[in-house]
Amino acid sequence: MNPILACLALLSPSPRLAPDAYVDWAWQDAQPAIAAAQPVDAGQQRDIESDKSLGKKYSEEIDKELKASEDKAMIERVQRIGGELALIANETLTPVIWGDKRLNRFEYTFKVVNEKDVNAFSLPGGTIYVYEGLVKYIESDSELAGVLAHEIAHAALRHVAALQREQSKISAVQIPLIIAAVLTGKGGEALMATQLTTQAISSGWSVKAEQAADLSGFTYMVRSKYNPVGMLTMMERLAKDERAAPVVDWGIYRTHPPGRQRADALTEYLRTANIPLRRSEVTTSFRTSVSAADNGRVTVSFGNRAIVSFAGEEALKRADEAALRLNTFFDEDPELFQVGIGEDGTVVGLRRPLFQLTPGDAEAAKVPFDELKRTTVGGIRTVLYGLSYRVWNRR
């Protein structure tokens, strides 16, 4: 028996979740097996070769449509992180909820294309395309790693082959059209491809493929030096940020946005794997920053929003300390009422002191001390309110 299935058979569903929710058991295989040095049999070798030649054919077409990036630093970054994850993928047997359960090893290739879309996709055989727009959109190496791990998983689990098997309505001839036309948004076949894609999506394969790539990708991330929280923050921002016009994976996000269900599943994997959900470690929009002005005042901001400005000789030291404590505070995604301020100007969040305002700070801001106290707490509550609809792990 397949070791993963054997493992699953022993598990009982989590009481918090519906019995059929895939998150019940998915991460229970928390320690993915290092694949035994099992020889690849002739059948698997044939499948791998078939993916490679199919992928080569697709990529030749796609390379005519998409302009290669000339940004050396960006290409280096994508290839370095992608290469690290590819090594892990090639030696990690993951729990597979949809696709080929065998350990399929590929020589992964990472290409960056000069396009503005927030987009990435992978071809059979392990050629992965990342758009410049996506690399500009991500806020840390961990977020980029999360996208690449997800894309690697699509190839490793041989999702195009699985699609061909499950959807006989979509012939092998049509699939390249779906991939090439929809994801590039170009080509005369776009209309037909869109119809085919809609058909494929409504039949549910895309959801299964996405969930499977999330889980296997997450497994690679856990074994890497990158923080798997990046997979969740990326998904949250894509879903909320309309400006990004997210188009990820075979054009799927255009009609099938990153779902709440996927985010919930990722949150559950993180919890089960005992990985703290610290968004501040993998983003800039959910993290504090400190900036000093010429007049000696030092401001702590969260994302783009200024929270507090300190004045006086200790301003920088106080700001650095406040920034650290605020990160921890915001990472816990507190409620509005969980922040307050004392008479002496001590701002308290989740019953811990975050920082202290002084009359000197008020003087530098040219406002009465009481007003500074009120507006500072008000500002923090505004941030908390914003977080309440920008993050998805509300209790």
Chain residues in the site for Zn ion (CB under 5 A):
210, 213, 249
Q: Which residue lies nearer to Zn ion by CB, 132 or 249? A: 249
Q: Please choose, from the candidates 338, 364, 365, the residue with its C-alpha nearest in 3D space to the C-alpha of residue 352.
A: 338
Smallest gap from Cβ 213 to Zn ion, in A, equals 5
Cross-strand partners of 93: 33
Structure tokens at 261: 């269900």
Residue 176's identity, in one-letter code, is P
Dihedral, 200, 201, 202, 204 alpha carbons, nearest 10: 90
Structure tokens at 139: 């806020």
Q: Which residue lies nearer to Zn ion by CB, 93 or 213? A: 213
Q: Which residue lies nearer to Zn ion by CB, 236 or 249? A: 249
Smallest gap from Cβ 102 to Zn ion, in A, equals 20
| Inter-residue contact 270 to 321 (CB < 8 Å) | no
Residue 131's identity, in one-letter code, is Y
DSSP 8-state class, residue 32: P
Q: Which residue lies nearer to Zn ion by CB, 88 or 157? A: 157
Smallest gap from Cβ 153 to Zn ion, in A, equals 8
Upper half-sphere CA count for residue 323 (Cβ side, 13 Å) = 25
State residue 128 phi and psi, 5-degree precision: -120, 130
Which residues are within 8 A (CB) of 274 and not within 5 positions of it... i.e. 6 or more apart? none
Q: Which residue lies nearer to Zn ion by CB, 157 or 380? A: 157
Distance CA 187, CA 181 (A): 6
Q: Which residue lies nearer to Zn ion by CB, 111 or 287? A: 111
Q: Which residue lies nearer to Zn ion by CB, 157 or 308? A: 157
| Inter-residue contact 118 to 134 (CB < 8 Å) | yes
Smallest gap from Cβ 194 to Zn ion, in A, equals 18
What is the CB neighbour count within 10 angstroms for residue 47?
17
Element containing residue 8 per DSSP (H, E):
helix 3-9
Structure tokens at 341: 């301020």
